[in-house]
Amino acid sequence: MTAPSEQSQDAAVARIEEEAVRITQELIRIDSTNYGDGTGPGEREAAEYVVGLLREVGLEPTYLESEPGRASVVVRVEGSDRARPGLIIHGHLDVVPADAADWSVDPFSGEIRDGMIWGRGAVDMKDMDGMILANLRHLARTGTKPPRDVVFAFFADEEAGSTLGAHWVATHHPELFEGCTEAISEVGGYSITLPERGTGRPVRAYLLQTAEKGFAWIRIRAAGRAGHGSVPNDENAIVRLARAIDRIDAHEWPAEYVASVRTLFDSITELTGVERDDANIEAFLPLLGGARQFVSGTLRDSANLTMLTAGYKNNVIPGSAEAAIDCRFLPGHQDLMLETIRELAGEHVELIVDQLGIPLDAPRSGPFVDAMREAILAEDPGAHLLPYCLSAGTDNKALKRLGIDGYGFAPLQLPADLDFAPLFHGIDERVPVEGVKFGARVLRRLIETC
């Protein structure tokens, strides 16, 4: 077989880049909002779009619905050495809600403006879906075999804890991932820009997500005495709930640096020469640029109030009141966190655990990490790949139940001044066009060499 010419290689890469951008836009235009309460359009339309793209190039993916409209898509590409453990590359098709009144553009437009693709899902994570699909179509068109089996998956329901997506697929169809030991997905592989030690020149570091916090989505329910709004009431459920909320919000969770965080901080010190003072860590965090919020969320456990439910009429004191809390905990902290919340909630307040997600910690070195580093360096010579811990969670939690180590590696080369972390679930979510093209090239190299 004749090796492809440099010209044909360039044309193939250009096509992958173009498709990654176009598919990202087209996926954004499909409203796959996940409200987390069983309402919304679901992922069916987006999943059917994915199936169409794959069938167009001769692939026959597995289409699965955990419930009507809650759709996931999985396809396996055989590698040249099937004795080697396989790799999973996965994304999710759902997005969080977006209120168009708050946005500068229609959040489901996929518009390109100022060199950016705008819309809900642009970074979370239809850009990665686009990069994956462009490379998958390239493999199918060219008959290219990766070194080992690669399973490509597009899951439902990640934004509501993956119950109807990755967890359901892993439980009911584990055979789809048979033989796989590693996986990559979202919220890692993006760049920050650091001042180089000695010169002050900008140098890029790409953050590989090797760990992520666990989560507990809980409710606290205060009980009280219902009654007329005109009558004094010293057992008001809303007041009891408010006091519990105040105690939980005021609680200072102690700082603890897990291994991936310490490694990141030590690496940044080595690259920049800037020493950190753990007693004044806030002076060090600005070096992290667009990753600052993600990293600051991994320095301690956290509990954020997210929803309130109480009452039904102005002149009626309700007998109960509820608040929802998003708890995120470091490895080994689950029991301590729940116990602390129970104590802070106090008397007459019940704690209800709706959903738990395990923390993750994958190896920070080894052949696969080396392959990701080499794929980055091939496209950005002189850059660095640094491990970090994510404050949020991903579908890698579901795959860990099958013994699969998951990484966040959705590569993006970002402008130094882009405040990246707030774009996730934020207003005016957007991703650089050139960043998507860069990521598509890096993924191609990784798939063909790992």
Same-domain pairing of 58 and 163:
yes
Same-domain pairing of 329 and 372:
no
Hey, which residues does 309 pair with through a beta bridge?
322
- pLDDT score of 6: 73
Q: How many helices (H) and strands (E) does the chain have?
A: 11, 19
Kindly report the CATH number assigned to the domain that includes residue 373: 3.40.630.10
C-alpha–C-alpha distance, residues 417 and 40, integer Å: 35
Domain finish residue from 357, 385, 419 = 357
Same-domain pairing of 246 and 327:
yes
Kindly report the CATH number assigned to the domain that includes residue 305: 3.30.70.360
Measured on CA atoms in the order 107, 110, 112, 118, is the torsion positive or negative?
A: positive
CB environment 431-444: b (16+ within 10 A), e (fewer) = bbbbbbbbbbbbbb
C-alpha–C-alpha distance, residues 89 and 181, integer Å: 11
> What's the Cα-to-Cα distance from 127 to each of 118, 142, 406, rounded to whole Å?
11, 23, 19
pLDDT tens track for 334-378? 999 999 999 999 999 999 999 999 999 999 999 999 999 999 999
Q: How many domains does the chain have?
A: 2
pTM above 0.75, yes or no: yes
Query: Is 437 part of a structural domain of the chain?
Result: yes
Angle at 316 between CA 310 and CA 322, to 5 degrees: 15
Regions of the chain with pLDDT less than 50: 1-2
Query: Is 342 part of a structural domain of the chain?
Result: yes
- pLDDT score of 4: 63
- pLDDT score of 2: 46
pLDDT tens track for 82-140? 999 999 999 999 999 999 999 999 999 999 999 999 999 999 999 999 999 999 999 99
Structural domain boundaries, residue 269: 213-357
Query: Is 394 part of a structural domain of the chain?
Result: yes
Same-domain pairing of 301 and 333:
yes
Same-domain pairing of 260 and 323:
yes
Same-domain pairing of 353 and 366:
no
Hey, which residues does 89 pair with through a beta bridge?
152, 184
Domain finish residue from 357, 385, 418 = 357
Same-domain pairing of 163 and 241:
no
Same-domain pairing of 377 and 270:
no
Q: Does a cis peptide bond (omega within 30 degrees of 0) precede residue 125?
A: yes
Same-domain pairing of 147 and 128:
yes
DSSP annotation of 320 reads E
Query: Is 200 part of a structural domain of the chain?
Result: no
